[in-house]
Structure 1
Amino acid sequence: MDKQHRKNRITILVIFAMSVIPFGIAWYLAKHPDIVRLGTNHGELISPPLITDAGEYSGVDPFSAEHIGELKGHWVLINPVAGECGETCRVALHKTNQIGLMMGKDIARIRRLALLFDNKLPLPAEWRDDGRLLKVSPAPSLQQKLTTINPSPLPDGSLLIMDPLGNVMMKYAPGYDPYQVRDDLSKLLRISQIG
């Protein structure tokens, strides 16, 4: 009888623990949400996405002005350039070129864009030879919208991803890892029904 009584007590304690422990874990995670990282993306999602219009981009050279229509219907890797393109900016542009090449057969779905906030500066010579890089200046309305992503000017070396509908939806800090961007972009392209 004593053995059966102990067995019943253990069963009751196990049932009690099974009902209380999940609530305890849920309460702890609710109080400390930074412990759990949801999602598998490496970049920071912009929520809500920044809605842009094709008219807010204007090409600063003949090549870009002629091909500005390619922004619609393509995924766009945007490199913000606040002033003169220094070493950080050049490295970031090289990384986006490499990301495009790493995408293999999906390269046709991607465009690269240098967003020049000061279009009076001369374009570096290597940009003129880059037949896949669009050089554009943002309209004042777009510059205003970009302050919602980052109150100060976007730093050189950062990266934005724009979807085929013109929504800027992901950003990366300067010094981003191109392999992580490629992984995020591959997932987006795989699940995308557009572009």
Structure 2
Amino acid sequence: MNPSNSSDQPERPDPQASRPQVEPGPAAPQQRGQRRNLWPLWAVLAVTIAPVIASYAMYYGVKPEGRVNYGDFVEPQVTLTTVRVAPVITPRAESAFVAFQQGAANKKSLTQLGDWQGRWLMVRIGPAACDKACQQELYLMRQVRLTTGRERERVERLWILTDSGTPDPAVLAEHEGLWVIRLMPQTKSEALIDNWFSVAAQSAARNAGASNIWIVDPLGNLMMRFPDSPDPNGMKKDLNRLLKASRIG
């Protein structure tokens, strides 16, 4: 007789039989319902945050192979929010910050570059004397901004002076909306940025292939520099790409 088939073998107790059965409490379905109700909130957050993450991944992190930018990225990143400046020429129109200097109810002092946060900045850095190359750069800044159409309200133009001079009014007459500001003496903690900025203003003469036109992002980070004698089509493509990818300014 096969012992495995013997009916004399005692039955083993079922370990589950001795365990008490616990019925789910009334709160369990309610908790599951609450979790389900949070899904719309997470979906809204994902839709809101995704464009910001995508734009920064594109321009500060992931750079897909074969992707071509006309301007050169500034690496490592330089934050300019605390660089102290003073307005020299305030535009009368074509700027979201005009009211800050004209006695409006929301008047605000513009004393550092961080006060222009929230907009993309096209910046020219250099002395007040404006030769043909300078005039061409100011012209390109104006025209490239105009090509963005209604998106131009997201873009400001700044001419940062590195000396004590004053630009020729005849030059400025052609560039309504252009802020002319001057670098001010920096505190000790800002001296490194001030020195970097001053050197950058003159580096075009020493580094072949570089212009004095830069892009500052809405968070106050210097992020891009255009080549010497910049091509307006290349500038336009870069600026439109930034505006399209970003939702932060």
Could you tell me the TM-score, scaled by structure 1's length?
Answer: 0.70
Aligned counterpart, 2:121: 76
Aligned counterpart, 1:66: 101
Contact persistence 2:125–2:213 (CA under 8 A): yes
In the alignment, residue 135 of structure 1 is paired with which amino acid?
V
Matched, 1:41 2:69: yes
Rg larger in structure: 2
State the identity %: 25
In the alignment, residue 66 of structure 1 is paired with which amino acid?
Q
| Structure 2 spans left out of the alignment, 5+ residues | 1-64, 92-97, 103-109, 186-190, 206-210
In the alignment, residue 233 of structure 2 is paired with which amino acid?
Y
Per-residue CA deviations over 1:58-78 (Å, capped at 9, x if unaligned) read 211354882848722100001
* Counterparts of 1:38 and 1:58, CA distance in 2: 41
* Counterparts of 2:69 and 2:221, CA distance in 1: 17
Greater RCO between the two (CA within 8 Å, min separation 6)? 1
**Structure 1 range deviating more: 51-60 or 158-167:** 51-60
Aligned counterpart, 1:191: 245
Change in CA separation of 1:97 and 1:80 when aligned onto 2, cut-off 3 Å: same
Contact persistence 2:83–2:194 (CA under 8 A): no
The total of aligned residue pairs comes to 157
Change in CA separation of 1:143 and 1:39 when aligned onto 2, cut-off 3 Å: farther
* Counterparts of 2:171 and 2:248, CA distance in 1: 32
Per-residue CA deviations over 1:2-51 (Å, capped at 9, x if unaligned) read xxxxxxxxxxxxxxxxxxxxxxxxxxxxxxxxxxx753211100012210
Contact persistence 1:54–1:71 (CA under 8 A): no
Matched, 1:180 2:208: no
Aligned counterpart, 1:144: 195
**How large is the RMSD of aligned CA atoms in angstroms?**
2.7
Q: Secondary structure at the match of 1:80?
A: strand
Q: Secondary structure at the match of 1:45?
A: strand
| Structure 1 spans left out of the alignment, 5+ residues | 1-36
Matches within 5 A, 1:17-166: 38-53=66-81, 56-63=84-91, 66=101, 68=110, 71-128=116-173, 130-140=175-185, 141=191, 142-146=193-197, 150=200, 153-155=202-204, 157-166=211-220
Task: Looking at secondary structure, tell me which structure has more helix per residue.
Answer: 1
